[in-house]
Amino acid sequence: MRRSVLTGVVAFGIAASACSRQPKLVETSHATPTVAVATHPAPAQQPATPSPALPVTPQAQPASQAVLNLVASDQTEGPFQIGGQSFTFVKHVQGINGKTSGDDSTVEWWELRDSAGNAVYRRQYPVDFQNGTLDETESVDARQLKANLGEGILVEGGELPSAPDGGWWVQVFGLINGNLTTMSGALRTDGPFLGEQVEKYQPGPMPGGQQQQAISHDVLKFRIWTGNVSIIYGVMIDWIQGKVRPEWTCTTAQGQPAGCRYPIKADPAPRKDLTFVRLFPEPESGFTPKHVVVKPDSKIEYIEAQASVSWSTGQDDVNFGVTDPGNIWLHVKIDGQDGWISGEEDFDAVGLPQSG
């Protein structure tokens, strides 16, 4: 039987992580130290000071033209009441005179300030104004983060132009030992931020049969594109240690890093031909697969995926994404037959061709 290749394209393709544009930072300063992920050294930080609005020096334009075309304004969000303290978010926006579109303004810098007006954190971006337009724009907003185990401020931003579903980020600030502290750099991946939620799981019984209490933690959820489906990835907020980290890390029986299993979002294309897949009992190529026929009207359930996700901590950003899109395993059920598939031919057969 010759396998047919479907040509459908998944509707929500997200650009590969290698294409994500990294921001060009001009300045970042902190009044309290950033706490890095445990496996990476924390970068040295400098104390922040209250910062007045900074003038823009546009590139490749006469100063007189910039003054005529760019209009600056300060915008304040809050106050946010965190642990009995008050904080505000202030952003300095440069906009093109007479324009109201979101593409015609950009955030030059933003600060989190305490009740006395002192900056506890500041971040700044370049402003490139040429030929009457802004080359790139940055949008940033803040909101209060009231989670199950702690409270803080969540700053969300995005850059244009950017790859599809790329360019967006979030940064977590928590009240640690009475101080508002950044718990992470800007969290970036090739997919949208889905929001925060509480995850609970039940540990296995202790020796002797005693049942342990259920454990809960606060998690930020992201959707990451693999090339065929999206996985739903969790970043845990560790309020005790004052940092964020992957919700799950997985290893083999020999202690080597391994892919974890994640919930997925699949958008299959219609199937028109009779074909088949190799259905493995486990996500390992060493097992013997069975060949399962896939008909155009076959009932297919897309259950979960196994994938390795990288996690890289820099001075100002945390980047994470699928490490090897060519080594994704997908758990499916085809007309009641349960198993795992891998490889583009089998993904095509179940209506999930590669895209993005």
Q: Is 341 left (phi over 0), alpha (psi -120 to 50) or beta?
A: beta
Does residue 353 contact residue 347 with C-beta atoms inside 8 Å?
yes
Lowest mean pLDDT of 52-61, 64-73, 264-273, 279-288, name the range: 52-61
Give the single-character DSSP code of 250.
Answer: E
For 355, residues 6+ apart whose C-beta sits below 8 A from its C-beta are 9, 10, 13, 227, 228
Report the C-alpha gap between 352 and 5 in whole angstroms.
Answer: 10
Report the C-alpha gap between 7 and 44 in whole angstroms.
Answer: 51
For 50, residues 6+ apart whose C-beta sits below 8 A from its C-beta are 113, 117, 118, 119
Q: Is 281 left (phi over 0), alpha (psi -120 to 50) or beta?
A: alpha
Give the β-pairing of 317-322 and 186-188: parallel
Residue 95 bridge partners (DSSP) = 71, 105
Please return the burial class of 79, using the count of CB atoms within 10 Å of its CB with bins 0-12, 13-18 and 19+: middle
Does residue 332 contact residue 326 with C-beta atoms inside 8 Å?
no
Tokens coding 324: 């090897």
Predicted confidence at residue 305, as pLDDT, reads: 98
Average pLDDT, the chain: 81
pLDDT interval class at 253 (50, 70, 90): confident
What residue spans define the domains of the chain? 21-185, 257-349
Predicted confidence at residue 181, as pLDDT, reads: 93
Does residue 264 contact residue 305 with C-beta atoms inside 8 Å?
yes
7-20 pLDDT, tens digit per residue, is: 332 233 333 333 33
Q: What is the sign, positive or negative, of the torsion defined by CA atoms of 131, 133, 138, 143? A: positive
Query: What does the pLDDT average to over 52-62?
Result: 42
171-214 pLDDT, tens digit per residue, is: 999 988 889 999 999 999 989 999 998 888 777 777 777 777 77
pLDDT interval class at 255 (50, 70, 90): confident
Q: What is the sign, positive or negative, of the torsion defined by CA atoms of 339, 236, 217, 266? A: negative
Report the share of the chain in percent with pLDDT over 90.
57
pLDDT interval class at 47 (50, 70, 90): very low
In the predicted structure, residue 347 carries a pLDDT above the cut 70? yes
Query: What does the pLDDT average to over 226-251?
Result: 94
Does residue 218 contact residue 239 with C-beta atoms inside 8 Å?
yes
Tokens coding 66: 């910039």
Q: What is the sign, positive or negative, of the torsion defined by CA atoms of 138, 144, 147, 152? A: positive
H or E segment to which residue 155 belongs: strand 151-160
For 148, residues 6+ apart whose C-beta sits below 8 A from its C-beta are 198, 216, 218
Lowest mean pLDDT of 125-129, 131-135, 137-141, 151-155, name the range: 131-135
